[in-house]
Amino acid sequence: MTMIIIVALFVAVLLLIFWRSVRIVPHSMEDVVERFGKFHRTLSSGFNVVIPGVDQVRERIDRRVQVVSFPPQSAITEDNLAVEVDSAVYIRVIDAYRATYEVANFIQAVEQLTLATLRNVIGGMNLEGTLTSRDEINRELKTVLDEATRDWGIEISRIELKGIEPPSSVQEAMEMQMRADREKRAQLLSAEGEKQSAVLRAEGERSAAVLRARGAAEAQAITAKADADAQTVRARSEADSIHMVFKALHTSRVDPDVLAYHYIQKLPEIARGDSNKVWIVPSEMGQALQGVGTAFDRLREEVVRVP
């Protein structure tokens, strides 16, 4: 029984030693190991073995990119205006040994160094340059921070100025200027639009006048042609009618008395117009009147004979 207990204790001690000697490091992490209080080595990600009681993990370092963000800080520009600057720094540990032993807290150190450098950079620029030169500020900050953090085993991946807020009085003046610029641009656009509209309207009216004139000319030409055609047709019809009457008169024997009677009936129609001031009496008028008189005498005699 005693032997079993001893064996069990021995196995338990071996398991405890094995458990303490195995070190599993996650991906993108490194463990800084000290032996008897002195740096020994760094453990990379995966399965690692250490000596229990001899080796001790001092710190676990994250090799991924970390974001150091801090509240907005006040800075004075070259023209003595206070601005609020909100920034963020992206850092990555490239040397776990230096990040552990060269600086006590590298995140806090990067933050303080960034704030100090930011105040110096903005202090050498006026407000307008500060608001319009963010890329230049980022490059200058990165240059200064890279030079300082290289000894700490830190790499500055990127610096971003999230916002630069000028004083409230300056903001109001800038808003008024922007509003005036927008109104000016709107007026210019409106004037340009009215000008183009007037030009297009004038061109449209000119085109319409040209088309109307062409249409009127074409309509007059068509009307004149139609009138000419109608007159031609009427003249041809009258000529055909006269020719037919003339032919009928010569081919058939018409009573002269009847012709004289119809001739006299047409005389009032000839004199009915206002422009007919002169009557032209043909040479056959006497013969026509004589024929009419003879016709009336014959008619009277026939009436007397009737009982």
3-state secondary structure 45-109: CEEEECCCCCEEEEEEEECCCEEEECCCEEEECCCCCEEEEEEEEEEEECCHHHHHHCCCCHHHH
Residue 212 lies in a domain: no
Residue 124 lies in a domain: yes
**What per-residue confidence (pLDDT) applies to 251?**
64
Among 15, 42, 61, which residue terminates a domain? 61
Question: Could you give the C-alpha distances from 165 to 85, 136, 169, 267, in angstroms and in order?
Answer: 7, 17, 11, 111
Same structural domain for residues 47 and 76?
no
CA distance linking residue 153 with residue 97, whole number of Å: 8
- Count up the domains in the chain and report the number: 3
pTM: 0.52
Same structural domain for residues 10 and 34?
yes
* pLDDT average, residue stretch 108-115: 88
Same structural domain for residues 100 and 144?
yes
Q: What is the CA radius of gyration of the chain?
A: 62
Percent of the chain with pLDDT over 90: 4
Can you read off the two tokens belonging to residue 236? 């041809």
Same structural domain for residues 123 and 98?
yes
The total number of residues written for the chain in this structure: 307
pLDDT band at residue 307 under the 50/70/90 scheme: very low
Same structural domain for residues 260 and 306?
yes
CA distance linking residue 287 with residue 174, whole number of Å: 116
Same structural domain for residues 20 and 85?
no
Residue 213 lies in a domain: no
Give the range of the structural domain holding residue 297, as residue numbers without chain letter: 254-272+281-307
Residue 52 lies in a domain: yes
Same structural domain for residues 40 and 120?
no
CA distance linking residue 215 with residue 165, whole number of Å: 69
CB-CB neighbours of 237 under 10 Å: 10
* pLDDT average, residue stretch 5-27: 80
- Could you tell me which of 166, 152, 75 has the C-alpha nearest to residue 115? 75
CA distance linking residue 138 with residue 90, whole number of Å: 12
Helical segments of 252-284, H only: 256-271
Same structural domain for residues 76 and 119?
yes
- State pLDDT tens for residues 184-203: 887 888 888 888 888 888 88
Residue 303 lies in a domain: yes
Highest mean pLDDT among 152-166, 167-181, 291-305: 152-166
